[in-house]
Chain A
């Protein structure tokens, strides 16, 4: 089992109050594709970040089990975590605009990630960067390698982020809303690219998003989170048979091109969803 999470709890404490953002999440992942879907504030990003130990200092993590390929994350040292982050598990963030260094060229940023983990010469790293840009379907990799982040489009920026994450050949890829800053056509291209690379390299994928139908196209399983809990976990192909009213509500409230609705149904939140 690549990832094993049992009863994960994440709380934020201040002097006077305590807020539990994640309340007992359990999930397991092998070399497969898992989608985590939920609204903002449902704890989906926190769960993924806890796995990389990338939470802010005031967050309190508790779990019966939190392991990556058998390594206990909760007990791991910072030094041990650096062997996992990037090298064995890549993390793709939402907006390439804020995740790339604006004063370094694209090529040098990918080469840096490659060199840190693979220990080669500068020249090898530069060549590897171009090869990686080619793998993420960038048409003119040599030219893009010499460009700065402000000179490329959002979709291309996200491809660069993916190339950078693939450089150390990780076993797991975590993509936190990788396409929500992009428009519809580019969104599909990027997700297909991630899907293809993950299948070809035999990696595990955690795809975090708020778009349920979209995720179902690119994942094997989908976990639906609401207010810090997983309310429903089901096969992506069986989404139409979802039982939980929240999952159904999320599917229903999207405007649809083919099935026009006079008014969009709005989620009516039930207090019972909080404590199943």
Chain B
């Protein structure tokens, strides 16, 4: 479904992504883990078409994505951002936010789709005419997910979708994402610095360091400690140390 081959991205003379390649099967879920500055979000932004200065190959469903993405591309691929406080327009109601995509893509049944989108992410219909500031962080992230799903995409790119949320809300959002993937046969690429979150949602993951993907392994291998690169082992040890209560 997704093929990224020798992706290189530079900001000016500084190369931040240096030849990243990975494949994701249809209905699969791939996690990218790394420290801040490792280039993981940059890869995702290039895939979503938010950055046009890249070289290499990015293909969805067998077709290469052009540098300038046509409108139809965004019916196939959508992105959810980290901060639900920054990614929703503060002066638009939830109704307006959700209908924007439908109007742009000229989709019929706006009324029905919005109602469906809200119930899909387990939000009450009453939030429809509220503003983002009237919702909690978890509810806002649900709106962001509803907005991404309303155009019925096949691929969802998730950039740290839960790192701005409380752990209790994080559990709800991770469950929601798992359910939606199963129900709609979605393909996910998830970026996070939290190894436990990645391993929970993604059976396959890649570890990034200084713009390179230094290792790709399955979540089972990671749990069992079958890591090859020192950085992966270090991340694993740290994650295990901190997740157990003292």
Binding site for B on A (CB under 8 A): 39-40, 153-155, 182-186, 188, 210-214, 216-217, 236-237, 239-240, 249-251, 253-258, 260-261, 263-267
Nearest chain A CB to B175 CB, angstrom units: 6
Contact B246 A237 (CB under 8 A): yes
Nearest chain B CB to A184 CB, angstrom units: 5
Cα–Cα distance between A251 and B195 once the two chains are bound (Å)? 17
Q: Which chain B residues (156-214) contact chain A, with CB distance < 8 Å?
A: 166-172, 174-175, 178, 193-197, 199-200
Q: Please, could you name 18 A-B residue pairs with CB atoms under 8 Å apart, sorted by A?
A: A39-B167, A153-B36, A154-B36, A183-B35, A185-B35, A185-B234, A185-B235, A186-B35, A211-B167, A250-B168, A253-B167, A253-B171, A254-B170, A257-B239, A260-B219, A260-B223, A264-B175, A266-B175
Give a binary string over B29-71; 1 marks a CB under 8 Å from any A CB, 0 the rest.
Answer: 0000001110000000000000000000000000000000000
Cα–Cα distance between A212 and B35 once the two chains are bound (Å)? 22
Contact A253 B242 (CB under 8 A): no
Contact A257 B175 (CB under 8 A): no
Q: Which residues of A contact B235 (CB under 8 A)?
A: 184-185
Q: Which residues of B contact A186 (CB under 8 A)?
A: 35-36
Q: Which residues of B contact A263 (CB under 8 A)?
A: 175, 178
Contact B199 A153 (CB under 8 A): no
Residue total for B at the interface (Cβ-Cβ under 8 A): 36
Contact A254 B171 (CB under 8 A): yes
Q: Which residues of B contact A188 (CB under 8 A)?
A: 238, 241-242
With A236-B246, A254-B196, A257-B239 as given contacts, are A183 and B166 in contact (CB-CB < 8 Å)? no
CB-nearest residue of chain B relative to A239?
A: B245
Cα–Cα distance between A256 and B167 once the two chains are bound (Å)? 12
Cα–Cα distance between A212 and B219 once the two chains are bound (Å)? 24
Contact A184 B168 (CB under 8 A): no
Contact A240 B245 (CB under 8 A): yes
Cα–Cα distance between A228 and B45 once the two chains are bound (Å)? 40
Interface-centre pick from A153, A183, A210, A249 (highest chain B CB count, 10 A): A183
Cα–Cα distance between A188 and B197 once the two chains are bound (Å)? 17
B109 within 8 A of partner (CB) = no
Give a binary string over B218-246; 1 marks a CB under 8 Å from any A CB, 0 the rest.
Answer: 01001100000000001110111111111
Contact B243 A266 (CB under 8 A): no
Interface-centre pick from B137, B167, B172, B175 (highest chain A CB count, 10 A): B167
Contact A153 B37 (CB under 8 A): yes
Cα–Cα distance between A214 and B246 once the two chains are bound (Å)? 8
CB-nearest residue of chain B relative to A189?
A: B238
Contact A264 B200 (CB under 8 A): yes
Cα–Cα distance between A110 and B243 once the two chains are bound (Å)? 34
CB-nearest residue of chain A relative to B199?
A: A257
Cα–Cα distance between A153 and B246 once the two chains are bound (Å)? 29
Partner of A255, one of B174, B238, B241, B246: B174
Contact B245 A216 (CB under 8 A): yes
Q: Which residues of A contact B197 (CB under 8 A)?
A: 255
Question: Closest 10 A-B residue pairs measured CB to CB?
Answer: A183-B193, A255-B200, A253-B171, A239-B245, A264-B171, A216-B246, A39-B166, A255-B196, A216-B245, A257-B196
Q: Which residues of A contact B178 (CB under 8 A)?
A: 263
Nearest chain B CB to A178 CB, angstrom units: 15
Contact A217 B168 (CB under 8 A): no
Partner of B199, one of A184, A214, A255: A255
Contact A39 B168 (CB under 8 A): yes
Q: Which residues of A contact B168 (CB under 8 A)?
A: 39, 249-250, 253, 266-267
Nearest chain A CB to B137 CB, angstrom units: 7
Contact B223 A257 (CB under 8 A): yes
Q: Which residues of B contact A182 (CB under 8 A)?
A: 36
Q: Which residues of A contact B137 (CB under 8 A)?
A: 40
Q: Which residues of B contact A184 (CB under 8 A)?
A: 35, 193-195, 235, 238-239, 242
Nearest chain A CB to B182 CB, angstrom units: 11
CB-nearest residue of chain B relative to A217?
A: B246
Cα–Cα distance between A59 and B169 once the two chains are bound (Å)? 27
Cα–Cα distance between A249 and B168 once the two chains are bound (Å)? 8
Q: Which chain B residues (126-178) contact chain A, with CB distance < 8 Å?
A: 137, 166-172, 174-175, 178
Q: Which residues of B contact A267 (CB under 8 A)?
A: 168, 171
Contact A265 B35 (CB under 8 A): no
Q: Which residues of B contact A183 (CB under 8 A)?
A: 35-36, 193
With A185-B35, A254-B167 as given contacts, are A212 and B200 in contact (CB-CB < 8 Å)? no
Q: Which residues of B contact A210 (CB under 8 A)?
A: 166-167
Nearest chain B CB to A132 CB, angstrom units: 24
